[in-house]
Amino acid sequence: MDSTAADVTAVRGPLVSFTGDPFLTSREDAFVHESDGLLICENGVITGCGDYSALRDRLPAGVEPTHYPGHVISAGFVDTHIHYVQTEIIAAFGSQLIDWLNHYTFVEEQRFSDADYARRIASSFCDELLRNGTTTALTFCAVYPASVDALFEEASARRMRMAAGKVLMDRNAPDALLDTARSGYEDSKALLERWHGTGRNLYAITPRFAPTSTPAQLEAAGTLRQEHPEALMHTHVSENTGEISWVRSLFPERRGYLDVYDHYGLLGPGAVLAHGVHLTGRERGRCAETDTAIAHCPTSNLFLGSGLFHLHDAKDPRRPMRVGLGTDIGAGTSFSLLATMNEAYKVAELSNYPLDSVKAFFLATLGGAQAMGIDDKVGSLAPGHEADFVVLDPRATPLLAERTSRAGDIEELLFVLAVMGDDRTVRATYVDGALAHDRDAAASAA
């Protein structure tokens, strides 16, 4: 190895990672576990991952790996749907989706016209992600361009891979939150050209959802996507039955909710649609055909009573869809993707589809990266990927320590972490090869 010690980060401990989709292939072909592993990173990129005894001679002189015995080291979590501008309204007493938007969300998002407020929330948002082991997120900003600048500036300061976009809304929202088809296009284009590919930032074209955009605005969003196919596209679909009826009344000429986006050229690789709870079989097939992904947001769907997402239908091997997990803060109830796995398991159980731990961790890592079309960059510990990873502590609480001491194998251990874990379980988070959050150091400093 030619790198100097200063260029190298190394950690040792049990490693888990994915090389494939366990919904579509065998556990052995999709899942990798090293009971005593070594992860070597050079200049923010993973260059070695495997058995410690086989790789230790590749360490430069003077590099001693940080050892996490009895922990679990995984690729950093990928949150495929979240609203940073809703951080302050998490746990707002619920009603169904549209009422919740009108009473809480639209009121809070108007505060992001204040750039100082946007920077403060963006800073705490990024810190909260890292505290929960989330190293990449796809997030809505507000309608105001300054809210996008604030988020990317804070993410850049932490060297995170962040995807975000200005919300597009030109109807059915308070006047203070409305743009126009033209201004939304122009603002989004300027933000995209400023931020996409700058450092680790990715831009997402972001119509809020079909009811808050006129046909002219959706057409403009489709034009921008044609002009910049490298950008992501992020919106909502089929979350709530009332919302679906509303879309049908606004777009009577279309075959259904998904067809609205399809008509305007908004489906395809890099398009992530949140929820998809009530997609029809035909719509699921169209998502699979176009490589359009769904962000499964179980804590939000339960909180707002939107319904149960049928994961077994989405991952049907005859027409499998790309699916990642989303916390959907602020209708979602936790920044933790461990807690989100817990709720995803329960939703799957109610659909008579037991979700095992390997599949759950896949959705939170490589599955989320595949959904966003960035699985060549993040979501795995494979060499060549960016060095974003999380260290989980199975002894984070007394009860967790008692339960995990009885785990018979790695799959049971991961299942217990998914059901009982939260931010306390995240011992450390590494971003771009560097330590970005240390639970114990943070506790000592508090």
DSSP E strand boundaries for 191-240: 202-207, 232-237
- How does DSSP assign 139-175, residue by residue? EE--SSHHHHHHHHHHHHHTT-EEEEEPEE--SSS-G
Answer yes or no: are the C-beta atoms of 363 and 395 closer than 8 Å. no
Q: Residue 433: name the closest of 48, 82, 132 by CA.
A: 48
pLDDT at residue number 102: 84
pTM: 0.97
| Separation between Cα atoms, residue 338 and residue 127, nearest integer Å | 17
| Separation between Cα atoms, residue 110 and residue 130, nearest integer Å | 26
77-372: which CATH number, 3.40.50.920, 3.40.190.10, 3.20.20.140, 3.40.50.2300? Answer: 3.20.20.140
Contacts of 253 (CB under 8 A, 6+ apart): none
pLDDT at residue number 1: 41
Answer yes or no: are the C-beta atoms of 388 and 284 closer than 8 Å. no
CA dihedral 423, 424, 428, 431 (to 10 degrees): 10
| Separation between Cα atoms, residue 62 and residue 379, nearest integer Å | 29
pLDDT at residue number 138: 99
pLDDT at residue number 442: 84
Element (H, E) at 187: helix 181-195
Domain limits, CATH 3.20.20.140, in the chain: 77-372
pLDDT at residue number 52: 98
pLDDT at residue number 150: 98
Answer yes or no: are the C-beta atoms of 40 and 98 closer than 8 Å. no
pLDDT at residue number 166: 98
pLDDT at residue number 6: 62
5-75+379-445: which CATH number, 2.40.50.100, 2.40.50.140, 2.30.40.10, 1.10.10.10? Answer: 2.30.40.10
pLDDT at residue number 4: 56
Domain limits, CATH 2.30.40.10, in the chain: 5-75+379-445
C-alpha distances in Å from residue 322, one per residue of 153, 270, 311, 319, 417: 29, 10, 11, 10, 24
pLDDT at residue number 10: 98
pLDDT in 10s for each residue of the chain, 446 residues: 455 556 899 999 999 999 999 999 999 999 999 999 999 999 999 999 999 999 999 999 999 999 999 999 999 999 999 999 999 999 988 677 778 888 899 999 999 999 999 999 999 999 999 999 999 999 999 999 999 999 999 999 999 999 999 999 999 999 999 999 999 999 999 999 999 999 999 999 999 999 999 999 999 999 999 999 999 999 999 999 999 999 999 999 999 999 999 999 999 999 999 999 999 999 999 999 999 999 999 999 999 999 999 999 999 999 999 999 999 999 999 999 999 999 999 999 999 999 999 999 999 999 999 999 999 999 999 999 999 999 999 999 999 999 999 999 999 999 999 999 999 999 999 999 999 999 999 887 76
pLDDT at residue number 244: 97
